[in-house]
Amino acid sequence: MMMGSIELARTICEEIKGKLPEGEQYGSVDVAEILSAHVRNLENSVEVAKSVTSKLEAQRDALKREYVNRCPHEWYQGRCVHCDVQAKDGKPAI
């Protein structure tokens, strides 16, 4: 079943805010406000996720550097057999 954009927007608003009493529907201003607020919430969630991901990546990189710095490094074909880091000019390239 194909749905027009207004009908689709109202259906999404019903999913976000709940159904209205029988015979009532969200007006265009309500739809715009509800969807705009929801988009802002989603954007904030994405920013939080990016921030957390960035912090986790930084922690992972720090742990990897710490591990690589403690590794005795036995090189085989340009990679350490212990920590799998690649050699660059005979030194670990992190």
- Is-above-0.75 flag for pTM? no
Burial of 10 (0-12, 13-18, 19+ CB in 10 A): buried
* DSSP 8-state symbol, 88: E
Q: What is the pLDDT of residue 50?
A: 96
For residue 91, name the pLDDT band (cuts at 50, 70, 90).
Answer: low
Query: What's the whole-number mean pLDDT along residues 48-69?
Result: 86
What was the pLDDT predicted at 63? Answer: 82
Q: What is the mean pLDDT of residues 57-71?
A: 80
**Average pLDDT rounded to a whole number, residues 46-67:** 89
Stretch 8-14: mean pLDDT? 91
Mean pLDDT of 3-32: 90
